[in-house]
Amino acid sequence: MTEKEKCAAGLLYNANYDKELINERIACKDLCLEYNSLKNSETEKRNRQIKRILGSTKENLCIEPSFWCDYGYNIEVGENFYSNHNLVILDCASVRFGDNVFIGPNCSFYTAGHPLDAKQRNEGLEYAHPIKIGDNVWLGGNVVVLPGVSIGNNSVIGAGSVVTKDIPDNVVAVGNPCKVIKNIKEEN
């Protein structure tokens, strides 16, 4: 089993010393650098470049520079996707965003995690678990989403939150660790 196959299976894999994964990350970061260098007025070029980076997109999306990811091909964004500046997605596993997702500045999505055992970490081993963000989700600035987390439809994550566990549909959740503080009623 290759390191890439181990990663896809959610097993410990070697990310730091595997040539295939290293080369894929280098190629993706080169594409991100090109994207981040484009002028805001170069809308068509920006749209073409971001679609070269991401695995799957709908038509209407906007990611304000700077944007960085590891592989790109593991990222799927829905219709009407918007991210403010400084989005980081460590997409060793899949990261899927639904339709009408709005992300504040300085947000991060990390699918990669590392063993507690120092020897395994020092060998370059890590694991990756997918992240899923539902439809109509708003994430405030400086939100961090950790490996394996799902955020439900119509939910709002408050600024500065660290999302360590799944968040259900139709709630407002905030804090570190992020916790549900109220349900969102339809009349709101």
Annotated catalytic residues are: 114
126 vs 107: CA distance, rounded Å: 22
Q: Is 133 within 8 Å of 166 (Cβ atoms)?
A: no
Close Cβ partners of 160 (under 8 Å, ≥ 6 residues apart):
140, 141, 142, 143, 174, 176
Angle between helices 19-37 and 43-53 (to 10 degrees): 170
Q: Is 143 within 8 Å of 165 (Cβ atoms)?
A: no
